[in-house]
Amino acid sequence: MFVYDQTNGDNWSGYFGSKPDLKYHIRRVFNQYRAVESLFFAVKAEFERIKTITFNEGEIDQSAKNDF
């Protein structure tokens, strides 16, 4: 970034002053994206864990009898 020399002697690069609303929205969208990505991987890991659960035939029949 180039530094601009103002007439009163203040140097200004424009990073913090230019388009603050755009920068806010970009940061907000990126944070939401990271949250969704984290949730996606947590759900994926939970589904993988659920797939590994096995039931014996007796356990399934016994649980069905207990439900009624």
pLDDT digits (tens, 9 = 90+) for 8-64: 666 666 666 667 788 889 999 999 999 999 999 999 999 998 888 876 665 555 555
- The Cα–Cα gap between 57 and 23 comes to 58
Q: Into how many domains does the chain fold?
A: 1
Q: Per the domain annotation, does 27 fall within a domain?
A: yes
Q: Is residue 3 part of a domain?
A: no
Per-residue pLDDT tens digits for 35-47: 999 999 999 999 9
- Provide the pLDDT for residue 22: 83
Q: What is the domain extent for residue 59?
A: 19-67
- Is 0.85 surpassed by the pTM of this model? no
Which residue shows structure tokens 């947590």?
Answer: 42
